[in-house]
Chain A
Amino acid sequence: GDSVTQMEGPVTLSEEACLTINCTYTATGYPSLFWYVQYPGEGLQLLLKATKADDKGSNKGFEATYRKETTSFHLEKGSVQVSDSAVYFCASLNDYKLSFGAGTTVTVRA
């Protein structure tokens, strides 16, 4: 079945540092790819998505590009803020079924 592997955390950064969270997937066919974010004590929110190869999803300064050749969807942000502290989940969607990575906890210190 489909699966997603993402960089293990936790990740601790200083404010204004660059963030990269690696994500790779295995899937049959061509899944849609997502990053979800979970802030402390809350549910999952969609951060960004890409539905086909070479698409770039972006939101709140975060970006990720669907790379079919490397089966990757790495999340990047050039300058993080304390408010970006959260758990980030990479996911692939194929035929209604969403497969999640284990999640990466990011803590940004002032």
Chain B
Amino acid sequence: IAGITQAPTSQILAAGRRMTLRCTQDMRHNAMYWYRQDLGLGLRLIHYSNTAGTTGKGEVPDGYSVSRANTDDFPLTLASAVPSQTSVYFCASSGDSGASTDTQYFGPGTRLTVL
């Protein structure tokens, strides 16, 4: 594989269920990110990780958690899904040079519907 992969491509989920969105990159990038895309709002940062073992909160972190056990993987978990979490979720990574202004590269996205 080359770049960033996300799974699943799409998912319909009942409210209250737990769900983990997967993200894997093979570019050895240090930093990884999760965004949600909602119509008229652009993309908003949920959580990020500057390097393996560390995570931070973005603009809209409530209801989501992340972990970064290694460089390649950055799963996003919804502990108890609610309808307002219906969105398209994008994972991104950056860090070819280690600078905090490196270009972010995006995965293909996961379309999540919570009923």
A interface residues, Cβ below 8 angstroms from B? 4, 31-32, 34, 36, 42-46, 49, 51, 89, 93-98, 100-103
Are the C-beta atoms of A32 and B105 separated by less than 8 Å?
A: no
Chain B residue, CB-CB nearest to A6: B42
**What are the 6 A-B residue pairs with the smallest beta carbon separation, nearest first?**
A100-B42, A44-B106, A43-B108, A32-B101, A100-B43, A102-B42
The reply to whether the CB of B66 lies closer than 8 angstroms to some CB of chain A is: no
Contacts of A95 in B (CB 8 A): 100-101
Chain B residue, CB-CB nearest to A49: B103
Kindly name the residue among A36, A43, A46, A94 whose own CB sees the greatest number of chain B CB atoms within 10 A: A43
The reply to whether the CB of B41 lies closer than 8 angstroms to some CB of chain A is: yes
Q: State how many angstroms separate the Cβ of B38 from the closest Cβ of chain A.
A: 10
* Given contact pairs A96-B48, A97-B45, A97-B48, A42 touches B104 in the complex (Cβ within 8 A): no
The reply to whether the CB of B90 lies closer than 8 angstroms to some CB of chain A is: yes
Q: How far is the CA of A36 from the CA of B94 in the complex (A)?
A: 15
Contacts of A100 in B (CB 8 A): 42-44
Are the C-beta atoms of B45 and A98 separated by less than 8 Å?
A: yes
Are the C-beta atoms of B106 and A93 separated by less than 8 Å?
A: no
Are the C-beta atoms of A103 and B42 separated by less than 8 Å?
A: yes
Binary A-proximity of B68-95 (CB < 8 A = 1, otherwise 0): 0000000000000000000000101010
Contacts of B104 in A (CB 8 A): 93, 98
Contacts of A102 in B (CB 8 A): 40-42
The reply to whether the CB of B61 lies closer than 8 angstroms to some CB of chain A is: no
Q: How far is the CA of A102 from the CA of B40 in the complex (A)?
A: 5
CB within 8 A of A96: which of B42, B50, B109? B50
Binary A-proximity of B42-69 (CB < 8 A = 1, otherwise 0): 1111001010000000100000000000
Q: Which of B15-51 contact A (CB under 8 A)?
A: 31, 33, 40-45, 48, 50
Q: State how many angstroms separate the Cβ of B5 from the closest Cβ of chain A.
A: 11
Q: How far is the CA of A34 from the CA of B50 in the complex (A)?
A: 20
